[in-house]
Structure 1
């Protein structure tokens, strides 16, 4: 592994220990296995077909290399296309399937995409509607069989004599410093930026992060993948699997993750905090339906999990934990296949409460931190107990340097740092200074070397009284209450701090039924004085944990959950604060009408 310099070097390692199930995915209701030999054959065939279509690495410069677009959910074809494109010297430009047509058109024109691969008819139709405005695009290929659409299998033909040698000769010219992919960040504000990542950027991260993964005691190397592969977090983790002999199963969709986990029985998977929140929500809904002693045992087990601490030496707590495991936690693990040892969390901050609950239940949450521009991992919590600390994103991985600027911003230097933004040297110069990448995040390194993220630099705001408020810690803390689904703190240039809150209707509705509160809609629920009092009491309970200026004085409950499709969240689940602020301007203005309020109250 240490000798690997390019991502496709994983194939040479795999060939030495071939697997019957290197990749797998559901096709027509049944799992379809891709052996190492079949996968490699498809990669070489597609790479040769691309060369025959005129795809090339140009004169070796990033600008001259052909760009191949890829818009698809995670599936074996995604990875096969990636590895094939790499060996031609071209650059892969993967995009989110839910990108809007205008954004797709802008990006595909910016990179002058030559060929494009899409997964299904919906995506084909979306791109086909704007392809006339993309002069560089020569053809679109689909993974699914679609009438009157070129299918990618038409490119997969047996290699003729000498073609393999030709392909090998070309791949040998590709160096670790060559850009292998341009990943467009979704961004919480502004237009997406094309982050250029070299083989060295990603491989260095694969090697360092792979050492962390190898600490997990697993019997069989099986992983489940369901996050977008065009996000560097999932892509980098995928290459850890490929270099370390894991088999990878792809979930059919986000809606089938639970069923697919039970079938694939993974030992590890990556996720974002939002998914864990949803899983725990379902656990709570099921548990609260219980009656009698079973309900009491369930609620007791939740309390035991919430009390979990790393390196807890209390014999009495260990006895309680063992009892809770036998009666409750074991069933949680069985529901997702029975084998999960670790869950690697990224993208945004994970509530400590969730980390404790899942870790106590035998599914160790390993939260990490990084950005697309850092390939992505900068720090991560380890599996061993001395390598984890709740409330932090772990220790730095090998070969990464971090320093904290005078204003608290985290600066990073290492082989993982991007070479820059595509066709945007001005913005590159803004974020990379003297070799240090400015992350835009505020944080601190504690005495034990654990990195803690306290907020986003651009999200910290100043009240009209000149006091600074960091919204993220407030939001994360209050979201630990399972009646709060989503929350955004506001108050820039205002006299006090306020908040928009989306209730967890999954938990709120049973509470309402228990308290004989009738409802026909979310809006009706939010008008009930008892619901208003519930949320006011929750906020009042948390407020003493923050200083006066940070305490939420007023809040508005919202009827609709924020989502990717409705535009309030990025594809990785982060809040688009600007979008939310504009969308709910009237609600925010109402909270600040007069601005004379100093005591907590609620607008609904």
Structure 2
């Protein structure tokens, strides 16, 4: 009985002394959270609690145990309770905010890289205002025109496709997700190279046949198998592909059809009505004889695979006539029947037999695509790409960013864009496979989980969204788990900076994060626009895979520079650059003294990026004047400002057109500033503007509500009561409206504005920006779509690759911007 009492006393003493440390530690944590006492040493407090709970009772043992010797039971109880108190103290003192290591370390790593990735080549291309051209190390001789495995004659899409059919006939080429009768999505079903390319050849024969041989064909649909069959079939037949996409708007689509003189368009069911309106004078739009697309004669309609076969939502895909347009199901291009008839028994054009078909000659100089770029300003312009250019680009891409035969790529970036086309062809060169997303980007994670890709290609906005979603999911976890995850993220980031990972945290936390994309992703790649270093590091840490960044434009067939993605077994793990030039490209810099950039800058050569090589476009379709402006002596002037780094890589600083001068003469790089400020957690999207007659910047900010609202709920703005805050849920309709009302409220709106502006200002201070680079006033845009975007494709403020259309945003918010400047003047 005495022994039991002694053990009980020991337990009480352990818990008591441990609790003292626990309470004291939590008190300091609260004080520290208010900024009075810094510290993030939870393990120190845990150790102190353990020592207090273990040692103090033993030292004071004589006071309550009648001088009895310490028994094994005493030690076991004390050890167990001390450990329990230590763990409790550790959890209690962990931070409840996700504070990651600073970015200063990231910026120093690039300057420490001394192994050259590109080399300067002697050339007569150097002048007083330009640097020597640089080429990929190991490819200083001739620029790559085809992949080494393909042979020197494999310089056209036809040659690449024919080779793939011979070598990879039994490999899986593409996969489409099935649709169940109830409308839900099932597993992916694959087709082999032999099956797919068999359809592609039939399509090529129909499109390139005899008297009805096409010169150009339009494609208007989301990524799907039929789109790929038509695109590759056209390339094989030597027919020029002209992609269309809905976010261009009906006026731009009408312009493209007329400008490219398209007689034939392959279209999805959902876009059929829009295409037919191009011939109609009865539509709601101001169509007249001058703008009607009289050239349009034939429309092939893809079956919508996103809805069940028996669904009444399917449209009439023909055969039928409409205002002189023959409408046919796309399947007629995949069979050898001689003709098709409409409902009245009349023969429809474009369905002749393939008997006697002879392939037209195709070489690397022939056009392959006319890609109309929406761009960020002005009307769409047609970029002429060549057969040799797309193969050179795809070959060099899968050499630097190594693609393997067993790789699987999830295709969701529009096939109307050169980069995705290059990725698809790179996979075909290597015998890899592709799976098509089912058409809804919001459900991309579900597609990834079903397909289990090994390659994940995205644009900066996608990876920013990935970061936001991961952080938001962590915020929804119960308090102890949330704190544990935040701690794991901090520790893992510190460890990866030292060159290793902590496998405990991989097993407990990051394995589940990686599983969100199927669990097999081995490489990620970002393109289209610069990716913030903090976002790149975050994604690398969470998914435990290399994330490399590339650079290119439509005019370079999608890509001309990329970080090492497996070349020689090396993956570039630094940040802040886009790697060396691809093996098919060389680039140099040209001084832009008016903007303060010269090739003699002390911090490294800086200037406009000029690119040359077989992957440079032919010119702008029917626009010789604009072609001459950007193509000078075979060098393409990109309009991007870049810097050469000591290791031969390229960093994109900004675009020439995105630079503006303030009233006191300072130049501001808008895109560079926006990329930096988008890494502020509460900022979802941002548009920075500077008036040349003003001395300060203003900004339009779209906060991230899934980051902002939890902060407000935790008291970030004490004046806003919790009862006034909407509750986040998966049902967006329940809180998007109240969120907009909250931000627009006369009392609470200014407080939210002030808080977001302070967060932005703090980020500017941490990054040590010049004072004139601080936005001094902001307007909060809280009207969001289902993707939580204020700037979107739908409202015309984003391109399909999520680049901001600066002129459109300025036009939409001009009154707000003027109001910001007016309010600033009143405050002076």
TM-score of the two chains, using structure 2 as the length reference: 0.67
| Structure 2 partner of 1:100 | 249
Partner SS state of residue 365, structure 2: coil
| Structure 1 partner of 2:72 | none
**Structure 1 residues 154 and 209: CA distance shift in structure 2, 3 A:** same
Give the distance between the partners of 2:413 and 2:623, measured in 1 at CA.
28
Give the distance between the partners of 2:492 and 2:400, measured in 1 at CA.
25
Residues 394 and 422 in structure 2, CA contact (< 8 A), matched pair in contact too: yes
**Structure 1 residues 305 and 140: CA distance shift in structure 2, 3 A:** farther
Corresponding position: 1:350 with 2:531: yes
TM-superposed deviation, 1:77? 0.9
CA deviations 1:88-147 (Å, max 9, x no partner) are 322110111333221111100111102110112x20000101135212211111111632
**Structure 1 residues 296 and 179: CA distance shift in structure 2, 3 A:** same
| Structure 1 partner of 2:600 | none
Corresponding position: 1:139 with 2:321: no
| Structure 2 partner of 1:532 | 753
| Structure 1 partner of 2:173 | 22
Corresponding position: 1:431 with 2:582: no
The answer to which of 333-342 and 360-369 deviates more is: 360-369
Give the distance between the partners of 1:582 and 1:270, measured in 2 at CA.
32
TM-superposed deviation, 1:455? 0.6
TM-superposed deviation, 1:165? 9.4
Correspondences of 1:283-432 after superposition (within 5 Å): 283-304=470-491, 306-307=493-494, 312-313=498-499, 318=500, 321-360=502-541, 361-383=543-565, 387-407=572-592, 408-432=607-631
CA deviations 1:167-202 (Å, max 9, x no partner) are 5x524x110000011001111110011000001111
Residues 308 and 357 in structure 1, CA contact (< 8 A), matched pair in contact too: no
Which of 453, 478, 482 is 2:652 aligned to?
Answer: 453
Correspondences of 1:189-588 after superposition (within 5 Å): 189-214=377-402, 220-253=406-439, 254-304=441-491, 306-307=493-494, 312-313=498-499, 318=500, 321-360=502-541, 361-383=543-565, 387-407=572-592, 408-493=607-692, 494-515=694-715, 516-517=721-722, 518-519=724-725, 520-525=738-743, 527=745, 528=748, 529-544=750-765, 545-560=768-783, 561-588=790-817
Give the distance between the partners of 1:357 and 1:226, measured in 2 at CA.
22
The answer to which of 422-431 and 582-591 deviates more is: 582-591
The answer to which of 423-432 and 509-518 deviates more is: 509-518
CA deviations 1:7-44 (Å, max 9, x no partner) are 13222222222235311112323433222222122111
CA deviations 1:42-99 (Å, max 9, x no partner) are 1111122223484436xxxxxxxx1100001111111110121123322110111333
The answer to which of 524-533 and 429-438 deviates more is: 524-533
| Structure 1 partner of 2:370 | 182
Give the distance between the partners of 1:153 and 1:531, measured in 2 at CA.
56
**Structure 1 residues 219 and 46: CA distance shift in structure 2, 3 A:** closer
TM-superposed deviation, 1:307? 4.4
TM-superposed deviation, 1:159? 8.4
**Structure 1 residues 286 and 594: CA distance shift in structure 2, 3 A:** closer
Which of 158, 161, 181 is 1:11 aligned to?
Answer: 161
Which of 355, 359, 363 is 1:170 aligned to?
Answer: 359
Residues 224 and 264 in structure 1, CA contact (< 8 A), matched pair in contact too: yes
CA deviations 1:447-497 (Å, max 9, x no partner) are 101110111110100001121111122211121122100011111312111
Give the distance between the partners of 2:453 and 2:702, measured in 1 at CA.
33
Corresponding position: 1:154 with 2:332: yes
Residues 688 and 698 in structure 2, CA contact (< 8 A), matched pair in contact too: yes
Correspondences of 1:102-117 after superposition (within 5 Å): 102-117=251-266
The answer to which of 123-132 and 142-151 deviates more is: 142-151
Give the distance between the partners of 2:354 and 2:492, measured in 1 at CA.
55
Root-mean-square deviation (CA), in Å? 2.2
**Structure 1 residues 164 and 212: CA distance shift in structure 2, 3 A:** farther
TM-superposed deviation, 1:557? 1.5
Partner SS state of residue 560, structure 2: strand
Residues 388 and 394 in structure 1, CA contact (< 8 A), matched pair in contact too: no
Corresponding position: 1:38 with 2:38: no
**Structure 1 residues 305 and 402: CA distance shift in structure 2, 3 A:** farther
Partner SS state of residue 395, structure 1: coil
| Structure 2 partner of 1:61 | none
Give the distance between the partners of 1:597 and 1:374, measured in 2 at CA.
48
The answer to which of 185-194 and 501-510 deviates more is: 501-510
Give the distance between the partners of 1:523 and 1:495, measured in 2 at CA.
33
Corresponding position: 1:81 with 2:267: no
Q: What is the total number of aligned residue pairs between the two structures? A: 578
Partner SS state of residue 387, structure 1: coil
Residues 413 and 420 in structure 2, CA contact (< 8 A), matched pair in contact too: yes
Residues 368 and 393 in structure 1, CA contact (< 8 A), matched pair in contact too: yes
TM-superposed deviation, 1:284? 1.4
CA deviations 1:510-544 (Å, max 9, x no partner) are 22333344142324235425423421321221223
| Structure 1 partner of 2:822 | 593
**Structure 1 residues 594 and 359: CA distance shift in structure 2, 3 A:** closer
**Structure 1 residues 141 and 386: CA distance shift in structure 2, 3 A:** closer
| Structure 2 partner of 1:602 | none
Give the distance between the partners of 2:571 and 2:454, measured in 1 at CA.
21
Give the distance between the partners of 2:208 and 2:672, measured in 1 at CA.
51
Task: List alignment gaps of at least 5 residues for structure 1.
Answer: 58-65, 600-604
The answer to which of 324-333 and 424-433 deviates more is: 324-333
**Structure 1 residues 478 and 228: CA distance shift in structure 2, 3 A:** same
TM-score of the two chains, using structure 1 as the length reference: 0.91
Residues 548 and 572 in structure 2, CA contact (< 8 A), matched pair in contact too: no
**Structure 1 residues 383 and 325: CA distance shift in structure 2, 3 A:** farther
The answer to which of 235-244 and 323-332 deviates more is: 323-332
Residues 56 and 88 in structure 1, CA contact (< 8 A), matched pair in contact too: no
Give the distance between the partners of 1:123 and 1:165, measured in 2 at CA.
32
